[in-house]
A and B are shown apart, each in its own frame.
Chain A
């Protein structure tokens, strides 16, 4: 369903005299429906950047990201026009970012129900589903109407997960979704991810904890430690 081939990403920093930073180079892997591939590499090795390229928060320099979309057919996410990328983000591709980024003054329930509302679900129903998802993730009821900006790291991360899992995605991108969770919460999240896989969702994930990764991964892909991150690590 997703085929990444010879993907390459670098940054040119014009304010630093055109300095180039390689995020990763020559990345190739694929994922089938209902399967999860886990990316591994040392810190700075380009894991988050690969996910961001698939979501198109980053524009890749070279390579293809072939995605089989029910609504748009076979597309190349590396070059797809922005309106179509937004269509896929709205209905088919979900993303749990490494850190929660939310707009100010939006309550937890509204943050979580928004993706459903954007997908055309009635607002009342979406809010009920948001409440169910938050309960499943053991977010205290008292926080439902509060603003997530002030939450603890683990609470924010669970809100982030709730927001991504409230609707079905064909492809889910997960960047350290369990990093700041206690063991019990990790178990709940993995159960929820397992449910998604059984319903056919494909996943590309990054976990810093190998033992957690092994509970969900069907395969691992190691980003080659080429000169990219070595150069970036050295000042």
Chain B
């Protein structure tokens, strides 16, 4: 068996001062993520999972359960309160798409190195396209910015690559000079996907990719992700409150509630033999 690409252990994020009883008195049993003693929000606590190079892993759970928090911690947008995120590069050298931080806890690195790692191996699609895109600059420009950060220098090549990425994500190349604010929600998500893929990431983080889109647009975006995953082999974390999305895209799923993982398993097992009361409730509320 191969090593995982990413090994996450004991990942926690507390918003607020925190106190010694935060962890014990929050969570699914307590029914809240707010500490009754110090009023801190335990957005996630003791999160652990492995992500393998060729897999799509789902994260589901109700609103506020901590799904986006986990993603933002992995993307180094927020500083974790505790935990480890180990990267295993399986022998890839820094010239061959690696980062040179094999077996290192990425959370212990400084922000300069974290930014370098993010630019080199991560792509993210935010729940809100306003977080992921500059709405007033051209779509091609949004992607060019990312390519520059990843070390591209030649203007002609950057433009060609940006056009190709947009085409792959089904945004007409002819519209690459228009800003995303002119686009529909589904097109904005596709520009975000193109941008996320621009550095050929090893890890793709997708947060509520299809929330707020029409059903038919949702279907096209999901089909696009399925196709890209077949073509690209990128380890993907799919965060969604929608079990249908997770059923379509993933083979393994984590279920979160009140900042904790309450159940983890094969996606078909989570759907057909859910064990935690919350998972059973969620599955029975599907359709």
Contacts and interface: CB of A to CB of B under 8 A. Distances in A.
A57 B273 CA distance: 7
A85 interface: yes
Interface string B31-70: 0000000000000000000101001000000000000000
A58 B273 contact: yes
Contacts of B168: none
A105 B264 CA distance: 28
Interface string B238-259: 0000000000100110000000
B287 interface: no
Contacts, number: 48
Identify the interface centre among B50, B252, B273: most chain A CB within 10 Å of its CB: B273
B148 interface: no
B272 interface: yes
B1 interface: yes
Contacts of B251: 86
A85 B219 contact: no
A11 B273 contact: yes
A84 interface: yes
Interface residues of A, number: 21
A14 B266 contact: no
B209 to A, nearest CB: 16
B284 interface: yes
Contact of A57 (B52, B219, B268): B268
Contacts of A13: 280
B219 A104 contact: yes
Nearest to A85: B266
Given A58-B269, A58-B273, A103 B1 contact: no
Interface in A13-59: 13-15, 52, 56-59
B269 A56 contact: yes
B223 interface: yes
B265 interface: yes
A15 B265 contact: no
B277 interface: yes
A10 B273 CA distance: 10
B219 A59 contact: no
Given A58-B272, A59-B275, A105-B219, A86 B284 contact: no
Contacts of B223: 105
Nearest to B249: A103
Identify the interface centre among B55, B266, B280: most chain A CB within 10 Å of its CB: B266
Contacts of B230: 117
Contacts of B277: 14-15
Contacts of A141: none
Contact of B281 (A12, A15, A117): A15
Contacts of B269: 56-59
Nearest to B52: A83
B266 to A, nearest CB: 5
B284 A15 contact: yes
A57 B270 CA distance: 8
Contacts of A59: 265, 269, 273, 275
Interface in A53-103: 56-59, 72, 82-87, 103
A57 B281 contact: no
Contacts of A52: 272-273
Contacts of A82: 252, 264-266
Contacts of B273: 11, 52, 57-59
A103 B52 contact: no
Nearest to A57: B268
A84 B219 CA distance: 30
Identify the interface centre among A12, A57, A103: most chain B CB within 10 Å of its CB: A57
Given A15-B280, A57-B272, A86-B55, 13 more contacts: A12-B275, A14-B277, A14-B281, A52-B272, A56-B266, A57-B266, A59-B265, A83-B52, A86-B252, A103-B248, A104-B219, A105-B219, A117-B230
Of all A-B residue pairs in the complex, the 7 with the closest CB atoms, nearest first, are A14-B277, A58-B273, A57-B268, A57-B272, A14-B280, A82-B266, A82-B252
7 contacts: A14-B277, A15-B280, A58-B273, A59-B265, A82-B265, A83-B50, A86-B252
Interface of A: 11-15, 52, 56-59, 72, 82-87, 103-105, 117
